[in-house]
Amino acid sequence: MSGYLPPSTPAEQIFCRRVTDMIRRCEASGRPQYLGFLDERQQALAGAQLSKTKWPEHLFFGGYPLAERKVLAVYADEPPNGEAFPLCCLRVSCRSGGLTHRDHLGALLALGLKRECVGDILPDSEGAYLFALSSSAALIAAELREVGREAVKTAICAPPADLAPQQGETVRASVASPRLDAVLSALLHVSRDDASALVRSERVLVNHVPKTGPAAQLSEGDILTVRGVGRFKLEEIGGQTRKGRVFVTCIKY
């Protein structure tokens, strides 16, 4: 994966100040302070900000061991256990199944929730498990009655012990080079020009950071997010065809 990038937008600078404010509140009160849910980019920014301020006592937890989106806890003495984190698991049940992550997230945001209120969403054949801040859980349980035009039932529950993210679909392709526009062209089955236009329209993020340069070089482990389309992880770059094209392996979520 590409290396850590310092705050590059006003929103990221504001976020880092929020982390600093957490430390001040923790120092003043002696009680743990929480922030989240955070994506992987925000977790990296928070970790760097905590190191910068020489505050080692912190934890990230998303409700289950393999969580991607996590709540940050900053504490002074004893680390909080998982039950102390202000988050809940909810079960969304439907009859027909087939609802996607995008369907569930859209329905949650339509309730007026901010993205940081919602953690991982794990669809399955009968609905989904999802995590949310405790302050939002009652609203979700009471109001989430439709997802993707499907009637659903929603209730707060304990997360299953074997809960894990979906594995995703493996996609293999050959590209001229591991440039952003070339890889997007192969993954989305569009021309290089169309892929470049997507990047320039600020619809593409690499490791949760917007990219506007189609020529950006990608590395193994990079996460590509295309707004309105989906998300991909670049698992492997390796091997060449006889014509010099490069093989890439990605996971589509």
Interval 12-26 mean pLDDT = 95
Residue 227 and residue 184 share a domain = yes
Domain end among 49, 83, 117: 83
Range of the domain at 76: 10-83
Print the SS3 string covering the chain: CCCCCCCCCHHHHHHHHHHHHHHHHHHHHCCCEEEEEECHHHHHHHHHHHHHCCCCCEEEECCCCCCCCEEEEECCCCCCCHHHCCEEEEEEECCCCCCCHHHHHHHHHHCCCCHHHEEEEEEECCEEEEEEEHHHHHHHHHHCCEECCEECEEEEECCCCCCCCCCCEEEEEEECCCEHHHHHHHHHCCCHHHHHHHHHCCCEEECCEECCCCCCECCCCCEEEECCCEEEEEEEEEEECCCCCEEEEEEEC
Residue 102 and residue 75 share a domain = no
pLDDT score for 2? 56
* Domain presence at residue 164: no
Residue 79 and residue 99 share a domain = no
What pLDDT, in 10s, does the model give residues 69-100? 999 999 998 889 889 999 999 999 998 778 98
* Domain presence at residue 120: yes
Residue 135 and residue 200 share a domain = no
pLDDT score for 120? 97
Residue 15 and residue 77 share a domain = yes
Total domains in the chain come to 3
* Domain presence at residue 5: no
Domain end among 58, 83, 108: 83
Q: Any idea what the CATH number is for the domain that residue 15 is in?
A: 3.30.1370.160
Please tell me the pTM assigned to this model. Answer: 0.80
pLDDT score for 7? 83
Domain end among 66, 83, 100: 83
- % of the chain surpassing 70 pLDDT: 98
